[in-house]
Structure 1
Amino acid sequence: MALTRVKTESGILKGALAGNQRVAVYKGVPYAAPPVGAYRWREPQPVEPWEGERTAYVWGDACLQKRVLGGGDFYQKEFYADRTFSEDCLTANIWTPAKEAGEGLPVAVWIHGGGMQHGDCINMAYDGEAFAKRGVIFVTFGYRLNVFGFLAHPELTAERKDADGVASSGNYAYLDILAALGWVQKNIAAFGGDPKRVTIMGQSGGAGAVMDVATMELSRGLYCRGIMQSGGGLGGMIGDNKVTLAEAEQIGKEFFAYIGAENLEQARQIPGQKMVEHYYDFCRQRPKKEGDPYSPFNMNIDGYVFHDTSVNRIKANQFGDVDYLVGAMADEFRYVMPRRQIDLAKYRADIQSKYGRYAKQYLKAAHAETAEGAEETEQSSSSDTMWASAQAFAEILLELGRKPAYLYYFSKPAPGEDHRGAFHSGEHAYVFQTFLRINRPYDGSDFDLSNEMCAYWTNFIKNGDPNGEGLMSWKPYTKQESLAKEFGGDGRMRPMPETEMSAFRRDYILGRLKEDGNE
Structure 2
Amino acid sequence: MEHRVQIDSGYLEGVPGVHNNVTVFKGIPYAAPPVGALRWRPPQPPAAWEGVRPADRFGPICPQFIPEPGSFYHEEFYVEEQEQSEDCLYLNVWSAAASSDERRPVMVWFHGGGLVEGSGSLPSFDGESLALCGVVVVTVNYRLSVLGFLAHPELTAESEHGSSGNYGLLDQTEALRWVQRNIVAFGGDPGNVTIFGQSAGCFSVYSKLASPLAKGLFHKAICQSIFLGPISTLAEVEAKGAQFAQQRGAASIAELRAQSAEQLMSDPELYRNALGLLPVALDGWVHEEDPLTMLLESRHHPVPLLMGATANEMTTLVTGGCTLESFQSMAHRQFGEEAEVFLSLYPAVNDEEATEAYRNYMSDRFMASKLVWAEAQQRSGDVNCYLYYFTRKPPGRNEAYYGAFHSADLYYVFHTLHSTDRPWEREDCRLAEAMTTYWTRFAAKGAPAAEGWPHWSAFNAADVRVMELGDEIREIPLPHAARLAFYARGILNKEPLKFDLE
Q: What residue identity is the alignment partner of 1:27? A: K
Q: State the alpha-carbon separation in 2 of the partners of residues 411 and 297 from structure 1.
A: 27
- Map of 1:128 onto structure 2: 127
Give the Cα separation in 1 of the matches to 2:431 and 2:327. 44
Q: 1:363 to 1:38 in 2, by over 3 A?
A: farther
Closer, same or farther: CA 99–497 of 1 in aligned 2, 3 Å: same
CA contact 2:327–2:358 (8 Å) conserved in 1: no
Query: Which amino acid in 1 is paired with 2:475?
Result: M
Say if 2:461 is the partner of 1:462. Answer: no
Residue in 2 aligned with 1:291?
Answer: none
Are the equivalent residues in 2 in contact too, given 1:340–1:379 (CA < 8 A)? no
Asked whether the equivalents of residues 328 and 387 of structure 1 are also in contact (C-alpha less than 8 Å), the reply is yes
Equivalent residue number for residue 216 of structure 1? 211
For the 8 Å contact 1:105–1:194, the answer to whether it is kept is yes
1:283–1:77 Cα change, 3 Å: closer
Query: Please, which runs of 5 or more residues in structure 2 have no aligned partner?
Result: 496-502
Q: Kindly, what percent of the aligned residue pairs are identical? A: 38
2:474 counterpart letter in structure 1: R
Contact 2:324–2:350 (Cα < 8 Å) also in 1: no
Q: Deviations over 1:248-278 (max 9, x none)?
A: 1111111111110011111011110221234
> Match for residue 255 of structure 1?
244
In structure 1, the partner of 2:305 is 324
Per-residue deviation at 1:502? Answer: 3.1
Is contact 1:198-1:222 (8 Å) kept?
yes
1-structure distance, mates of 2:163, 2:494: 35
Deviates more, 1:371-380 or 1:393-402: 371-380
More divergent stretch after superposition (81-90 vs 168-177): 81-90
Q: Name 1:96's counterpart in structure 2.
A: 95
> 1:298 corresponds to which residue?
279
Q: Tell me which residue corresponds to 2:179.
A: 184
The whole-number CA distance in structure 2 between the counterparts of 1:360 and 1:283 is: 37
Q: Aligned pair 1:281/2:263, yes or no?
A: no
Q: Specify which of 440, 459, 472 is matched with residue 477 of structure 1.
A: 459
Amino acid at match of 2:270: D
Partner of residue 408 from structure 1, selected from 388, 394, 399: 388
CA pair 118-282 structure 1, distance change in 2 beyond 3 A: closer
Q: CA deviation at 1:447?
A: 1.1
Contact 1:391 1:496 in 2 (8 A): no
For 1:174, give the aligned amino acid. Answer: L
Amino acid at match of 1:264: I
Name the structure 1 match of 2:291.
310
Q: In the alignment, which residue of structure 2 is the partner of 1:239? A: 229
For residues 127-167 of structure 1, what are the alpha-carbon distances to aligned partners after superposition, in whole Å with 9 as ceiling and x for unaligned? Answer: 11111112100000100111111111111111111xxxx31
| Distance in structure 1 (CA, Å) of the matches to 2:189 and 2:154 | 40
Residue equivalent to 1:207: 202
Computed over aligned residues only, the root mean square deviation of the Cα atoms, in angstroms, reads: 2.5
Q: Answer yes or no: is the 8 Å Cα contact 2:95–2:136 preserved in 1.
A: yes
Q: Give deviations 1:89-111, integer Å, cap 9, x for gaps.
A: 11000001122223211100001
Aligned to 1:433: 415
Cα deviation for residue 176 of structure 1 reads: 0.5
Write out per-residue CA displacement over residues 415-444 of structure 1, whole angstroms, 9 at most, x where no aligned residue: 115213111111122111112222111122
Distance verdict in 2 for CA 1:356–1:30, change over 3 Å? farther
3-state SS of paired residue (2:201): helix
2:150 maps to 1:170? no
Moved more, 391-400 or 459-468: 391-400
Closer, same or farther in 2 for the Cα pair 1:87/1:114, shift >3 Å?
Answer: same
Preserved contact between residue 14 and residue 56 of structure 1 (Cα < 8 Å): yes
Paired with 1:90 and 1:102, the residues of 2 have a C-alpha distance of 28
Shift of 1:327: 0.7
How far 1:488 moved relative to its partner?
A: 1.8
Q: C-alpha distance in 2, partners of 1:61/1:430?
A: 26
In the aligned structure 2, how far is the partner of 1:422 from the partner of 1:183? 35
SS in 2 for 1:62: coil
Give the distance between the partners of 2:304 and 2:440, measured in 1 at CA.
Answer: 14
Task: Note closer, same or farther for the CA distance 1:117–1:368 as it changes in structure 2 (3 Å cut).
Answer: farther
Q: CA deviation at 1:227?
A: 0.6
Partner-residue secondary structure (3-state), 1:41:
coil
DSSP-derived class of the 1:66 partner: coil
> How far apart, in 2, do the equivalents of 1:459 and 1:203 lie?
18
1:272 to 261, 266, 270: 261
1: CA distance, partners of 2:199 / 2:468: 19
Measure, in 1, the Cα distance between the counterparts of 2:489 and 2:315.
22
- Residue type of the partner of 2:18? G
- Tell me the distance in 2 between the aligned counterparts of 1:270 and 1:214: 35
SS of equivalent to 2:91:
strand
- The corresponding residue for 2:188 is 193
Shift of 1:370: 7.3
Kept in 1, the 8 Å contact 2:194–2:443? The answer is: yes
